[in-house]
Chain A
Amino acid sequence: MRPPNRIAEDELIQQCKSGSLRYQELLYKQFYGYAMSVGLRYCIDRDDALEVVNDAFIKVFNSMKNYDTAKPFKAWLRTIIVNTAIDRRRKDFKLQLNTDLNGAEYLPAHTNVIDTLNAQDILNLMRELPAIQLAIFNLYEVDGYNHDEIGVILNIPASSSRVYLSRAKEKLRKMIKTETQNHG
């Protein structure tokens, strides 16, 4: 349920289309949390994520006139944030494309531990992943892209995307297992 003080999304968008700075601010603040939740998953730290989010919002404001209101705004915003984050980290991907894909050690998963993870725990785990694995994990598992789309976005073969995803998952499992063992 939307908080009562929030302005209707349609009205916000319409006002932003007319270039109202006031409504742009309201839109920003209304979707800031969501935008950060996306940005944080792709970036190495909070400052980096904030820059990505702000750059994405600037793109949103500048492109608002072209936004099709028939489509959900959140999805559009998320796409812009993801693309901005990927562009920002693209050089990191290139460096890591040639790194050795070490096979993750198989560890039994402890599903009950997963339920206790909060946002910061997840981010901490994710940031242990190489940049390209992090991006592919997020794109595929959280944001719903398929491997073909990921291949286009990251300019890699779809098969490589599958491999990187597999490695990312294995690494996460290992890290969660390790964390579980450390804390008992």
Chain B
Amino acid sequence: MDDQFDKDLKKRIREVFDNYEDDSADKGWALLRKKYPGKAKKYPIAWMWWSSAAAVLLLFLGILWFKQSPEKQQQHFTVIKKGSHNKQPVKTSGTTNDQNAVDNTAVQQPDHTLANATDHKTPVRLRVATTPNHVVTSSKDQGIFASNVRTKPAGKTPANSPIINDQNNHSPAANSSVNTTTLASAVKPTDTNPENPSNVAKPGTENLSVSKSNATAAAPGITLQQPDQLNKQLLANNKQDSKQKGLSKNNLVHFGIYAASYLNYAKGSSSRFNVGAGFSADINLTRKLKVSTGIAIAQNSLSYPGQPVFSTPAGINMAPLALYSASTLQYSVSEPSFRNYSANLVGIDIPVNLKYTFDPGKSETYLLAGLSSGTFIDETYTYSFSNSQAQSQSAHGGFYFAKMLNLAIGTGYRVGSNRLIIEPFLKYPLDGIGSQQIRFGSGGVNLKFSIPSQRR
């Protein structure tokens, strides 16, 4: 009896709940969404978070890299500059007559013989890092890394140091040029003058410096230098050449983009905050003087509360007011009074400025002055009256030429390989501009982001 009851009850329960319908799914889903936002919403936030983190990291690494690389370049330059008294590249040709070049780079030992000098025309690059001793003569005009040259008593020279046999019986004077590869393996130190300890250098002396007398006596043109040093010197010389030549082609024009936030001002108008953006190009005239030009789009708005400024030379066109008054008088005994006048102008500004940089390459602080020309792509003048009516008028004032004086002072900060320039500026109107010849100016700050020239 009970079993049957239980079976019937179980059957009934299953039957009822298998077919259970509930129409509150929407409410249930809404509740679930409070706990479960879903990946669709989470994903962009996560993406933004990670991309922001990546951007910050890249920026940080960029700054780090940028801070380090100029130092390295500067170090290279400094080292080379110490060694090379002349600003000319290393000349390896045996035909050179430049005494300085010989002094700095040419190595010739009267006691040394360089074997296997088969190619007399090949410039020499001598790898001598493994040589235990180099016989050098002291000189008051030592070559590259001359300060590193340390003398060593001749007695410490290994007695069994291999002596390079001059198989060709080349005298030093005749040894004008040596094949690099053969030299790298063939040159071994020989101390043939043990009575002259000052002529012996330590193995660490990587560079072979030469006395003037030896260099003079040497055959012209044997230049022995480590490849690294040579490369450094070449690099430095290239840079120096660039400097000497002045500004390279890449540095002739610098481009930048900028955003401006400023207040428009005019006589009788309340100041209005506006923004603009533009593209700039700085053309180098000299190292410190540039012509700065570009193009910008800028919003300008002015608001004249109360009575319009009739006396303003750049007078507001009151024709709409007159028309309005005439028409409304037909219907109204009391003429509505003028309440507000506003002008909104979206302009294209083309400045031509002279830019004087005080300390180029350092803080890049500069002073800028010039004139702006331009036009307005949209001019809207709105007249408001006391009865809450307003009348708008659109116009186009044509192109104006050099009617705005630009004054600015700016300073730059390095941001990675780029430069962020903060440039407070003032635009002073020299005459009325726009279709209603309003004389207005602006003052604010440009945030300029210079686009770096392509590096070579």
Contact = CB atoms under 8 A, between A and B. Distances in A.
Interface residues of B, number: 30
Interface SS majority for chain B: helix
A50 B31 contact: yes
Nearest to B43: A19
Given A24-B38, A25-B29, A57-B32, A33 B5 contact: no
B32 A29 contact: no
A84 to B, nearest CB: 13
A114 B5 CA distance: 8
A55 B8 CA distance: 32
A118 interface: yes
Nearest to B20: A37
Contact of A33 (B10, B20, B35): B20
A21 B17 contact: no
Nearest to B10: A141
Contacts of B32: 28, 54, 57-58
A28 B25 contact: yes
| Size class of the contact patch on chain A | 35 or more
B2 interface: yes
A49 to B, nearest CB: 10
A95 interface: no
Contacts of B5: 109, 111, 114, 173
Nearest to A170: B2
B18 to A, nearest CB: 7
Nearest to A38: B17
Contacts of A29: 25-26, 29
B44 interface: no
Interface string B3-38: 011101110111011101110111011011001101
Contacts of B18: 37
B15 to A, nearest CB: 9
B20 A34 contact: yes
A161 B16 CA distance: 25
Given A21-B40, A119-B20, A111 B8 contact: yes
25 contacts: A19-B40, A20-B40, A21-B38, A24-B38, A25-B29, A28-B28, A28-B29, A29-B25, A29-B29, A32-B22, A32-B25, A32-B28, A34-B20, A37-B18, A50-B28, A53-B28, A54-B31, A55-B35, A57-B36, A58-B35, A109-B2, A122-B12, A122-B16, A141-B9, A142-B14
Interface of B: 1-2, 4-6, 8-10, 12-14, 16-18, 20-22, 24-26, 28-29, 31-32, 35-36, 38-41
Given A117-B12, A169-B2, 9 more contacts: A32-B28, A36-B20, A40-B20, A109-B8, A111-B5, A114-B5, A114-B12, A141-B13, A172-B9
